[in-house]
A and B are shown apart, each in its own frame.
Chain A
Amino acid sequence: MKNIPVNIQDIPGYGMDADPENEPTYPMKNYTGDDHNRINYERSEQQPADVELLMSTERPALTAVFGTSTPPSGLSGMIRRYAFKHSEDRYRHWIPLILADRINVYEGVLGDLAHGHIPNIFAERGLKSSWKYNKKGVIKKTVVAVLVTAAIISFFRRKKR
């Protein structure tokens, strides 16, 4: 790729926000000294907790507002409850959460089936657009998948004999 020289002075707004006071060793905030009052600031009214919430152990109480999307449930929920017994500093907080996320995917498929919905994995992965914009790539991936599967099957068949 060839880089074309530009006259930087012609770039709209060039240099107009330059700030000699923006000294990087000083945090970019309007320091008020309120940090020393810790959490004794005026809070908004507390949102009522009408779903199960998992809270960081590094907080004394819920925040004034919070999201109520997808409360913990099932096996993944049990793992998430375990994870939230540990602080954000611990691997035993984050690793179980990742495990729960993976288990949650299978719970999602089971949930779909329980509701009479068969998930269309191809549509959910947007493969129509892959076919539209990258036919070669789709064909290549399919051929590789078929060849790998055939090789694995033939390997195990030979082993059986």
Chain B
Amino acid sequence: MLAMNYRGPYRVRAEQRPMPEIKHPEDAIVRVTRSCICGSDLHLYHGMVPDTRVGMTFGHEFTGIVEEVGPLVQKLKVGDHVLVPFNIACGKCNFCKQGLYGNCHESNPMATAVGGIFGYSHTAGGYDGGQAEYVRVPYADVGPTVIPADMDPDDAVMLTDVVPTGYQAAEMGGIKPGDTVVVFGAGPIGIMAARCAWFFGPSRVIIIDHLDYRLEFAQNYAKCEAYNFKFMKDPVEFLKKATDWYGADVCIDCVGCEAEGNTLQTFSGRVTLMQAGAATALQWAINSVKKGGIVSIVGVYGPPFNLLPIGNVVNKGITIRANQASVKRLLPRLIDHVQSGRLNPKGLITHRIPLEEISDAYNIFSSKLDNCIKTVLIPPSARS
């Protein structure tokens, strides 16, 4: 089968690889119909995530048709077209039972701080991902969800990560009617977080980035205010002024470890890797939120540590909420939003690229070429 093959930072290729096999009685093998490149895949692509091994296949956002099921799989059958949440969850451990499907205790032996994630390094369990023609899907009765007949497959693939992560970013913000919400990062997740924030009734949603084309897209898609921090003397000061010198009620970090905008953070986090990436957006979020405000984090950071103004968190009495999205918990609500036309996830997709051209697809997304917002890969078997 054709699959993506990671060869080192900024180097990937598509090549023929062995078919995946059922390894556990609750596994399924899925023939991929759509697969996305996520902004967090770029952290792997840029060599920022420890234990990313050469030869691995990335991809944690995918849909596909069930080709084979293990003997203990009861809910799925061969031929079902499913969307597969990016988290691998057993559904039985205490964390899954409490709805924390992103924190499953039975899917990642390599690290305890994160549950299993498809195609996201050995730090997240060592699973090959969905940027391939076929993929092994563990706990097939738990995560995979049959795509409703009337749903566009492009909408479905966006429900595996982008939409739930954006929605949960807003949900974790505990937004109250009338609040001012600031979203850092106008990538696909940030745009979705800004769009979903409106579901909770704020009076203002502001998005901050440094790329004009993304800000313009966000403004149109999420109906929010958009500002470019490149043209600000100081983003924190700007946001204080924009909120009557009070601070935002809720700040959301949708950037993670590859932020721009602060020389010290960039040098220590991205150039020398002395910390787990540049935490510029999170620093701005902490310093821009009001006293007693809430900072919600869905941006991805590496495991060792980051330089942050934790003293300000204490002195301002800030609540920090963060997690990997609990996709399975959120799916029923989000499917309803999509089916009723309130959300248009496929509107984020700007590029549809054959899997064979994966090297170009990564470069286009990583280098922000051709006004790229979101890339979907189509395997050859899904085109015929």
Interface of A toward B, CB cutoff 8 Å: 1, 3-4, 6, 8, 11-20, 22-25, 28-32, 34-35, 37, 39, 41-45, 47-48, 50, 53-56, 58-59, 62-70, 72, 76, 80, 84, 88, 91, 94-95, 97-98, 100-102, 104-105, 107-109, 111-112, 119-121, 123-130, 133-134
Contact = CB atoms under 8 A, between A and B. Distances in A.
A80 to B, nearest CB: 7
A126 B203 contact: no
Contacts of B370: 129, 133
A34 B64 CA distance: 34
A3 B219 contact: yes
Q: Which of A22, A24, A37, A126 has the most C-beta atoms of chain B within 10 angstroms of its own C-beta?
A: A126
B106 A98 contact: no
A56 B112 contact: yes
B376 to A, nearest CB: 16
Contacts of B174: 22-24
A123 B90 CA distance: 39
B26 A65 contact: yes
Interface stretch (B7-15, B78-86, B152-160, B307-315): B7-15
Interface string B342-375: 1100000000000000011111100101100000
- Top 10 A-B residue pairs of the complex, sorted by shortest distance between their CB atoms: A126-B363, A15-B201, A67-B126, A67-B127, A105-B8, A24-B174, A108-B54, A13-B342, A97-B50, A129-B360
B24 A47 contact: yes
B43 to A, nearest CB: 12
B223 to A, nearest CB: 5
Chain B contact residues, majority secondary structure: loop
B218 to A, nearest CB: 10
Contacts of A48: 23
26 contacts: A18-B177, A18-B200, A19-B200, A24-B173, A24-B174, A24-B319, A28-B321, A32-B94, A32-B97, A35-B98, A43-B90, A44-B106, A45-B25, A62-B109, A63-B106, A63-B109, A64-B90, A66-B125, A69-B55, A97-B50, A105-B7, A105-B11, A108-B55, A120-B13, A125-B10, A129-B370
B151 to A, nearest CB: 17
B56 interface: yes
B116 interface: yes
A74 B158 CA distance: 38
A35 to B, nearest CB: 6
Contacts of A67: 116, 122, 125-128
B7 A66 contact: no
Given A1-B228, A22-B174, A68-B126, A17 B333 contact: yes
B212 A1 contact: yes
B121 to A, nearest CB: 9
Contact of A34 (B94, B176, B226): B94
Instruction: Assign chain B's interface to a size class.
Output: 35 or more
Contacts of A70: 53-56, 122, 126
Given A65-B138, A126-B361, A88 B113 contact: yes
A45 B122 contact: no
B105 interface: yes
B222 to A, nearest CB: 9
A108 B51 contact: no
A133 B215 contact: no
A124 B11 contact: yes
Nearest to B170: A17
Contact of B105 (A31, A63, A91, A102): A63
B264 interface: no
Nearest to B370: A133
A30 B95 CA distance: 9
B304 interface: yes
